[in-house]
């Protein structure tokens, strides 16, 4: 096992940097509750150093060809894959997610982002428009210094999903990880540097929300990309608006998963498990409102309960474990509060929802049935292993109920009726829809929300437009006429 203690708290201008006068932040291993490392939050001096480094490096980085930038990102992807086990262990220490998951879902997804955006960096272009002899061309330009702010559930992936497109376009970045999981982003910075990234292009600073807030309002910053909750999103979006900064907002969700009675039952149960219990339910796009058509509801619940009952809760570093602890005592208490509300409002707890009597933040996967639309557990984002099963009769009815939420991150449908599947996803208000699957998020596909789930898209070519802008150049070749 690796030693989770970082070399230093921050990574600025190509090297690890420490300032011990910053507020101390404990890094707690969720599986035991033990403090496994400590970092210091950024001081004003650290923030200044990061901002100056990012500002100073950006124009030189942008002056490289896209191919040169891309080569460095792709090299970083290779290093990340070579160091997959070490990075996966660190992700497990940071988040508590089982190694069985982190070995395939975290550093590998981060590497995919670096490889993908490294691959397209050399072909990022503007356009040419001809008007007779005259023409217009557009130049695709970077935005400048970008700030990335991360949530705690996918610390390696979020650091790379934001960094890769930003750097491919010629921006520099300051990334602030969540205070709950500060370790992984430092490794992303270290690996980028090892791959040849010029000093100052990608920097990591630690801290709580106040450090994020200080970055968002700094006049040197051109763009802010946040992954976090809706309340934080509201604050960051309005703070960024003051300076007309570009924003990407990857926020929360309360996504519907609709299971029609013609669905393959085993697939539907697998989908519901993937949509609710992977990463102990701590995934923004989770389909936590599981609408099941009345004809199969009992059979669905019976099969689901038996499958979930076989989840292996144990040492996350043991590759046989497939269900880990929650990230923190705070998050566990929030989720327990929702479970209590579900019970008080009359939902039926089919199984789970119990705290394990051992150190760490362990909660067994919970399934509620008899959930009604107006209940708190059917309306608010829980961000934990709590599934709500709601019954429905008809397609029109379920679509109305599925869309009756302020969120719109994802949605899923299980059916074998092709026409219905496409009709339903067309009507669902969500940034990502799944047909007979759930929670895939390859870098090639745009990812992001509608309504209160966010603004902009990560991944895919769509992300390029969120990290660059077009300058139009008008060129007159014909004689120029003026009215006087
Ligand atoms: P959070 O909103 O509490 O914190 C997110 C980040 O914002 C942290 O780094 C935090 O320090 C920072 N922050 C807090 N206040 C700030 C401020 N005023 N200004 C600037 N930065 C500030 O979220 P969390 O608890 O870390 O993560 C869980 C949330 O993230 C859930 O709502 C989940 O749905 C969402 N999430 C969304 C996606 C997505 O892609 N849409 C992915 C993962 C998580």
Per-residue pLDDT band for 231 (boundaries 50, 70, 90) equals very high
Q: What does 375-414 look like in DSSP terms, one character per residue?
A: SGGGTS---SSEEEEEEE--HHHHHHHHH-SS--SEEEEE
What lines the ligand 1 site, CB under 6 Å?
149-153, 176, 178-179, 208-209, 212-213, 216, 227-229, 232, 235-236, 250-253, 284, 381, 383, 409, 449, 454
- Cα separation, 224 vs 215, in Å, equals 9
Average pLDDT over residues 52-80: 98
- Cα separation, 179 vs 439, in Å, equals 25
Q: In what order do the strands lie in the sheet with 454-455?
A: 15-17, 10-12, 202-204, 172-176, 145-149, 221-227, 246-250, 454-455
Give CA 157 to chain center in angstroms.
Answer: 7
Per-residue pLDDT band for 54 (boundaries 50, 70, 90) equals very high
Dist. CA 116 → ligand 1 center (Å): 25
- Cα separation, 377 vs 371, in Å, equals 8
The CA radius of gyration of the chain, in Å to the nearest whole number, is 23
Tell me what pLDDT residue 74 has: 98
Dist. CA 291 → ligand 1 center (Å): 27
Burial class of residue 30 (count of CB atoms within 10 Å of its CB; 0-12, 13-18, 19+):
buried
Q: Which residues contact 103 (CB under 8 A, 6 or more apart)?
A: 84, 85, 88, 319
50 within 8 A of 22, measured Cβ to Cβ:
no
Q: How does pLDDT run across 75-111, given as a tens digit for each residue?
A: 999 999 999 999 999 999 999 999 999 999 999 999 9
Percent of the chain, pLDDT > 90?
Answer: 100
Tell me what pLDDT residue 338 has: 98
Q: How does pLDDT run across 325-371, given as a tens digit for each residue?
A: 999 999 999 999 999 999 999 999 999 999 999 999 999 999 999 99
10 within 8 A of 46, measured Cβ to Cβ:
yes
Q: How does pLDDT run across 288-308, given as a tens digit for each residue?
A: 999 999 999 999 999 999 999
Q: For ligand 1, atom 9, which residue shows the shortest CA distance?
A: 178
Q: For ligand 1, atom 32, which residue shows the shortest CA distance?
A: 229
473 within 8 A of 138, measured Cβ to Cβ:
yes
**Ligand 1, atom nearest to 178 Cα:** 9
**Ligand 1, atom nearest to 252 Cα:** 34
Tell me what pLDDT residue 7 has: 97
Q: How does pLDDT run across 276-286, given as a tens digit for each residue?
A: 999 999 999 99
Residues catalogued as catalytic: 162, 250, 284, 458
- Cα separation, 275 vs 271, in Å, equals 6
Tell me what pLDDT residue 76 has: 99
Per-residue pLDDT band for 458 (boundaries 50, 70, 90) equals very high
Among 281, 279, 289, 282, CA closest to 257? 289
Average pLDDT over residues 230-242: 98
């Amino acid at each position: 096992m690796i030693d989770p203690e970082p070399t230093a708290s921050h990574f600025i201008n190509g090297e690890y940097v420490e300032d011990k006068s910053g507020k101390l932040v404990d890094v707690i291993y969720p599986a035991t509750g033990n403090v496994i490392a400590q970092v210091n939050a950024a001081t004003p001096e650290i923030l200044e150093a990061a901002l100056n480094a990012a500002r100073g490096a950006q124009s030189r980085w942008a002056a490289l060809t896209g191919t040169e930038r891309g080569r460095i990102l792709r090299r970083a992807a290779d290093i990340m894959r070579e160091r997959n086990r070490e990075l996966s262990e660190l992700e497990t220490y940071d988040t508590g997610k089982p190694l069985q998951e982190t070995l395939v879902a975290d550093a590998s997804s981060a590497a995919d982002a670096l490889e993908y955006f490294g691959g397209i960096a050399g072909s990022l272009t503007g356009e040419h428009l001809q008007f007779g002899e005259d023409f217009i061309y557009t130049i695709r330009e970077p935005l400048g210094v970008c700030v990335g702010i991360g949530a705690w559930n996918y610390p390696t992936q979020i650091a790379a999903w934001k960094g890769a497109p930003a750097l491919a376009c010629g921006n520099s970045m300051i990334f602030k990880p969540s205070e709950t999981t500060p370790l992984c982003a430092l490794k992303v910075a270290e690996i980028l540097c090892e791959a040849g990234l010029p000093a100052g292009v990608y920097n990591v600073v630690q801290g709580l929300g106040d450090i994020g807030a200080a970055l968002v309002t700094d006049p040197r910053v051109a763009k802010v990309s946040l992954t976090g909750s809706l309340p934080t999103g509201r604050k960051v979006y309005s703070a960024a608006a003051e300076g007309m900064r570009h924003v990407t907002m990857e926020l929360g969700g309360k996504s519907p998963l609709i299971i029609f009675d013609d669905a393959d039952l085993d697939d539907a149960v697998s989908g519901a498990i993937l949509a609710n219990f992977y990463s102990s339910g701590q995934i923004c796009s989770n389909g936590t409102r599981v609408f099941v058509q009345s004809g199969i509801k009992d059979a669905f619940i019976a099969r689901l309960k038996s499958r979930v009952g076989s989840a292996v809760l144990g040492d996350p570093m043991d590759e046989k474990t497939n269900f880990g602890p929650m990230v923190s005592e705070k998050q566990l208490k929030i989720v327990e509060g929702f479970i209590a509300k579900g019970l008080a409002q009359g939902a039926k707890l089919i199984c789970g929802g119990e705290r394990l009597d051992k150190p760490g933040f362990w909660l067994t996967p919970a399934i509620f049935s008899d959930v009604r639309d107006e209940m708190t557990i059917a309306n608010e984002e829980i961000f934990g292993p709590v599934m709500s099963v709601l019954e429905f009769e008809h397609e029109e009815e379920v679509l109305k109920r599925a869309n009756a939420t302020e969120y719109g991150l994802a949605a899923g449908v299980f059916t074998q009726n092709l026409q219905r599947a496409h009709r339903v996803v067309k009507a669902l208000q969500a940034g990502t829809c799944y047909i007979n699957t759930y929670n895939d998020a390859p870098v090639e596909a745009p990812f992001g929300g509608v309504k209160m789930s966010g603004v902009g898209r990560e991944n895919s070519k769509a992300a390029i437009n969120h990290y660059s802008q077009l300058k139009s150049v008008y060129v007159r070749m014909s004689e120029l006429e003026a009215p006087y």
